[in-house]
Amino acid sequence: MIQERILLVEDNKALSKLIKRKMQDNLNFDIIQSYTLEETSNILEDNDDFFVALLDLNLPDAPNGEIVDLVLSYDIASIILTGSIDEQTRDDMLKKGIIDYVYKGNMEDINYIFSLIQRLLKNRDTKVMVVDSSQATRRYLKEILIRHMFKVLVAAHGEEALNYLEDNKDIKLILTDYNMPVIDGLELTKRVREHYSKQQLPIISLTNNNEHLISAKFLKFGVNDFINKPFSNEELIYRINNTLESIEQIELLSRFANYDFVTNLHNRRYFFDNIDDFLNSNDHYAIAMLDIDHFKKINDTYGHDVGDMVLKHLSTILKNNTKGSDLVARFGGEEFCIALANIDEKTAIRFFIKLKNLISNEEVKFKNYTIKYSVSIGVVSKDEKECIEKLIQKADKALYKAKRGGRDRVEIY
């Protein structure tokens, strides 16, 4: 896989070196440095494939921002680096189509560059829908959003938007106007909220300055934010970014609450929060407790980092060999619980024996070491409803029997 590149044009070599070093520490990009307009022109003639360019506005051979016109002529997304900028220059640069401008004042300004680039990387996988009856407004908004690397869909009214949403479940944000034919923005918001919460699909409404009551209604109907027209490019993007980042933070907190940090499997809490629904929706199922044999010895011999490698290796095997309807969770330490959906006892036993054999034949490579490990599994299979506490107790007893019987084996209660 070819590493993506960032073009850094900055005539202050000490600052350029600092930015490059910080970027290499924070971002997985190849950083190509340049110090003059002429040097940049030569670089672009040879290869203009850059994810983004960071451009000093005032260079020795380009004191009036000529570097911006050069780089934009190659359709490279550009961020301006400047010590100061007046309002007219700012407006001119934004009209040219730059992504943003960053002051070169202190480390916080430089750190903003990293957060901006990381946002652009996420935007490439983020689909946004613009809903507005004005073709000119749709075109204007689409242009801004594409400049910031979003995937963009446009709809002329709410009914069209709902049809798009039905076919594009991966839409991450809706921007909607109020006054539209067929279905207006308020009704669109109401219908979207019947199926998606504010955390699942954020909505930002676009309202006129004199529509204060409409803005209030939008908020009551469930929009995440609203923007009054007319608005600047910067306000639009900052509000979109703030909304998306708030949702991402909520998702991250939810992930911490429901997933195991080391293995990326569901954790014990998630398992017990969801197991009742699992049991109620399956007439035949199997519950298994799985334990890595002699895991303490692996940690003591090779260290806890290698122990984590073994846990991750096992979790990958478990994920690859179970279905989406199954539940797989790390209970803690070297102990895992697996709930298989719609499976009879004979098939479940065959499954876990095959899984055990697969694991014992696998290897974990670490430096000059080849590490093999095995697991013991205790299984309980049911075709009737029983509380999860009793099922876990029975699976635990079967697991203990497997351990006592020599490990690397499957026992059924």
Question: Can you tell me the distance from the alpha carbon of 133 to that of 78, in angstroms, rounded to the nearest whole number?
Answer: 31
Question: Can you tell me the distance from the alpha carbon of 271 to that of 87, in angstroms, rounded to the nearest whole number?
Answer: 56
Which one, of 182, 124, 128, lies nearest residue 153 by Cα? 128
Same-domain status, 184 and 52 = no
Same-domain status, 406 and 272 = yes
What's the CATH number where 163 sits? 3.40.50.2300
What is the count of structural domains for the chain?
Answer: 3
Same-domain status, 405 and 270 = yes
Per-residue pLDDT at 303: 92
Same-domain status, 239 and 294 = no
Helix axes 233-258, 107-123, angle to 10 degrees: 80
In the chain, % helix, strand, coil (3-state, to 5) comes to: 50, 25, 30
Same-domain status, 215 and 305 = no
Same-domain status, 272 and 319 = yes
Same-domain status, 240 and 273 = no
Query: What is the DSSP pairing of strand 127-131 with strand 151-155?
Result: parallel
Question: Can you tell me the distance from the alpha carbon of 104 to that of 57, in angstroms, rounded to the nearest whole number?
Answer: 11
Same-domain status, 284 and 164 = no
Last residue of a domain, one of 70, 102, 117: 117
Tokens of residue 127, six digits: 């689909």
Per-residue pLDDT at 1: 58
Which one, of 80, 90, 23, lies nearest residue 55 by Cα? 80
Question: Can you tell me the distance from the alpha carbon of 4 to that of 27, in angstroms, rounded to the nearest whole number?
Answer: 10
Residues in the chain: 413
Last residue of a domain, one of 73, 99, 117: 117
Question: Can you tell me the distance from the alpha carbon of 362 to that of 359, in angstroms, rounded to the nearest whole number?
Answer: 5
What residue ranges of the chain have pLDDT lower than 50? Answer: none
Which one, of 338, 328, 353, lies nearest residue 289 by Cα? 338
Same-domain status, 95 and 50 = yes
Element spanning 252, H or E:
helix 233-258
Non-local (6+) Cβ contacts of 390 within 8 A are: none
Q: Look at residue 333 and give its three-state secondary structure.
A: coil
Query: What is the DSSP pairing of strand 30-34 with strand 127-131?
Result: unpaired
Question: Can you tell me the distance from the alpha carbon of 149 to that of 137, in angstroms, rounded to the nearest whole number?
Answer: 18
Question: Can you tell me the distance from the alpha carbon of 250 to that of 260, in angstroms, rounded to the nearest whole number?
Answer: 17
Question: Can you tell me the distance from the alpha carbon of 381 to that of 373, in angstroms, rounded to the nearest whole number?
Answer: 26
Question: Can you tell me the distance from the alpha carbon of 331 to that of 260, in angstroms, rounded to the nearest whole number?
Answer: 9
Same-domain status, 210 and 271 = no
Count, in order, helices (H) and strands (E) of the chain. 15, 18
Tokens of residue 9, six digits: 């044009």
Query: What is the DSSP pairing of strand 285-292 with strand 335-341?
Result: antiparallel
- Is residue 327 within 8 Å of 336, Cβ to Cβ? no
What's the CATH number where 383 sits? 3.30.70.270
Same-domain status, 229 and 210 = yes
Strand order in the sheet with 375-382: 266-267, 327-332, 335-341, 285-292, 375-382, 410-412
The DSSP bridge partners found for residue 228 are 207
Last residue of a domain, one of 92, 117, 142: 117
Same-domain status, 192 and 231 = yes
Domain that holds residue 98: 5-117
How many percent of the chain have pLDDT more than 70? 99
Question: Can you tell me the distance from the alpha carbon of 332 to that of 319, in angstroms, rounded to the nearest whole number?
Answer: 17
Question: Residue 140 CB: number of other CB atoms within 10 A?
Answer: 15
Q: Look at residue 54 and give its three-state secondary structure.
A: strand
Question: Can you tell me the distance from the alpha carbon of 176 to that of 193, in angstroms, rounded to the nearest whole number?
Answer: 14
Question: Residue 227 CB: number of other CB atoms within 10 A?
Answer: 18
Which one, of 193, 53, 195, 202, lies nearest residue 127 by Cα? 202
